[in-house]
Structure 1
Amino acid sequence: MIDGRPRPHPQAVSAGSVRQFRHYDVLMAAFVAILLLSNVLGAGKVAVVDLPGVGPWPFGAGILFFPVSYVIGDVLTEVYGYAHARRVVWTGFAALVFMAVMAWVVVALPPAPAWGNQAAYETVFGQVGRIVAASIAAFWAGEFVNSYVMARMKLWTRGRHLWTRTIGSTVVGEGVDSLIFYPLAFSDAAGFTDALVVRVMLTQWALKVGWEVLLTPVTYAVVGWLKRAEGVDVFDHGTDFSPFARRARAVPR
């Protein structure tokens, strides 16, 4: 039941259908919040865990939560279609750019003489421009590839076997993300050899895909609930898959 009314069965609709969705804005807000927080809180810290039989294993702390944005991206594309996911990706991209500009301006402002935390503030928020640019570019490309593969695979599988789409799209999307970010951010950087960059890139990619696999039952539950709650199951027949399309419209055949 939804607000005392019977819950409708999901209805297969084309991506160009006009609908008023109840939970789309909440997912968009969650996506942007996780994206920003994983970059602010997780990107600057290298953590370490002691793995049995392996020993200390360092990893970027942001990997704990950033892959959740890919899970939300999968849910958005699966339930609402590529065009609605595209809008969320651009919103996240704009938020990342604004955050980077705001951090640069605030760090650069001269501190008051009585405020003695400038060095600590610069350590936390004064991110290297090269890494910020690599992160934004990798996010943009990786998320769009993820949504594209997800939408295309839904058409190929006729809406069956959701796990193949969520995992398959993440393998490709996170692969593109990693291929862009790590070489751009760390090639020729102090302490990073080409072999180390490749090892870190492959390790982080495998861990992100592993997160997607582990969260597959959660994805199934959320997708099923949203399709029932919204009463739709969008298929991207005739969708314009360009990242720069301004609205959901079918391409003339």
Structure 2
Amino acid sequence: MNSNGALQARKDLLLLILAAFFLTNAVVAEVIGGKLIHIPTEALAQRWGITPFTLSAGILPWPVVFIVTDLVNEYFGRRGVRRLTFIAAIMLAYTFLVLRGTMHVPAASFSPVKDEAFAQVVGQSTLIIVGSITAFLVSQLLDVTVFWLLRAVTGGKMLWLRATGSTVVSQLIDSIVVLGIAFYLPGKITLGQFVSVGGYNYLYKFLIAVAATPILYLLHAVIDRYLGEATAQQLVQRVAEKELKGAL
């Protein structure tokens, strides 16, 4: 294999690994989203004398999605993010269809997991499913747009700004869309509850986006070393020129 072929193989493997983490965490987040958790835990909150955030457990894997989105944006451009986003949305719909179908298959009499328990864990309403997938699509497509707008403004500097800025903007819309479609519009929660729950969810995502910035820089350095510093910079520059030229 010549040097060009070896480089292409490295790029392909990098994209494959990033895609695997992106898709896995996106699907897992939706599957576990029915469980509500406290951050910090109730025991710690009582000890510290504070009120804990009540959040969906599905929010736990999302920092990985944030970071991977920014890395794919940086090294493979908006086309890479959009493709992964649409693939993830299809896989989310497929996952929910499989789970819904499995709920209608009676459990064996000796099954340790009964039908009621299984349905309680994985059975989500149609509106929650629609809201989750819609919010995911809208927020991801908005994220990639804001990312490249900020990159154009900063001239490729301040990775932290375009990464964090695109996430905090897109996740604001994500919080509004998913709660609006799944709970507020059907009348399941009041406007006050909509604002409160949405605010807590968004605050958590905002803090996580900021806290994940050092990890993003670390992974950026790891990828640069994996591809080779000069090669990585050429790839980033080539992607940026293509994206910014297309935006003009």
TM-score using structure 1 length: 0.81
Q: Which whole-Å CA distance do the structure 2 matches of 1:91 and 1:134 have between them?
A: 17
The DSSP-based 3-state class of the residue aligned with 1:160 is: coil
| 1:195 counterpart residue number | 192
The DSSP-based 3-state class of the residue aligned with 1:80 is: helix
Q: Work out whether 1:46 is the aligned partner of 2:13.
A: no
Q: Work out whether 1:67 is the aligned partner of 2:41.
A: no
Relative to its length, the structure with more helix (as a share) is 2
Alignment of 1:92-107 (within 5 A): 92-107=88-103
Alignment of 1:77-116 (within 5 A): 77-115=73-111
Deviation at 1:228, TM superposition (A): 4.2
Deviations 1:171-200 (A, max 9, x none): 111011112111111116676211011111
Letter of the aligned partner of 2:236 in structure 1?
Answer: D
Which of 7, 20, 23 matches 1:32?
23
Long gaps (5+) in structure 1: 6-18, 241-249
Q: Which whole-Å CA distance do the structure 2 matches of 1:171 and 1:118 have between them?
A: 39
Letter of the aligned partner of 2:126 in structure 1?
Answer: G
Say whether the 8 Å CA contact 1:35–1:69 is kept in structure 2. yes
The DSSP-based 3-state class of the residue aligned with 2:129 is: helix
| 1:55 counterpart residue number | 51
| 1:123 counterpart residue number | 120
CA 1:20–1:211: 2 relative to 1, 3 Å: closer
Deviations 1:77-113 (A, max 9, x none): 0122111111111111111011011111111223344
Deviation at 1:22, TM superposition (A): 3.2
**Number of residues of Structure 1 aligned to a counterpart in Structure 2:** 226
CA 1:188–1:158: 2 relative to 1, 3 Å: closer
Q: Which whole-Å CA distance do the structure 1 matches of 2:194 and 2:21 have between them?
A: 31
Say whether the 8 Å CA contact 1:89–1:140 is kept in structure 2. yes
Q: Which whole-Å CA distance do the structure 2 matches of 1:200 and 1:238 have between them?
A: 40
Q: Which stretches of structure 1, 4 residues or more, deviate above 6 A after TM superposition?
A: none
| 1:136 counterpart residue number | 133
Q: Which whole-Å CA distance do the structure 2 matches of 1:147 and 1:20 have between them?
A: 20
| 1:204 counterpart residue number | 201
Deviation at 1:225, TM superposition (A): 2.5
Say whether the 8 Å CA contact 1:75–1:223 is kept in structure 2. yes
Say whether the 8 Å CA contact 1:170–1:212 is kept in structure 2. yes
Q: Which whole-Å CA distance do the structure 2 matches of 1:77 and 1:131 have between them?
A: 28
Letter of the aligned partner of 1:53 in structure 2?
Answer: G
Long gaps (5+) in structure 2: 4-9
Relative to its length, the structure with more strand (as a share) is 1
CA 1:229–1:140: 2 relative to 1, 3 Å: same
Percent identity at matched positions? 25
CA 1:224–1:79: 2 relative to 1, 3 Å: farther
TM-score using structure 2 length: 0.82
Deviation at 1:233, TM superposition (A): 0.9
Q: Which whole-Å CA distance do the structure 2 matches of 1:207 and 1:57 have between them?
A: 8
| Coordinate RMSD, CA, aligned | 2.4
Q: Work out whether 1:161 is the aligned partner of 2:158.
A: yes
Say whether the 8 Å CA contact 2:21–2:64 is kept in structure 1. no
Say whether the 8 Å CA contact 1:182–1:201 is kept in structure 2. yes
Which of 7, 10, 13 matches 1:22?
13
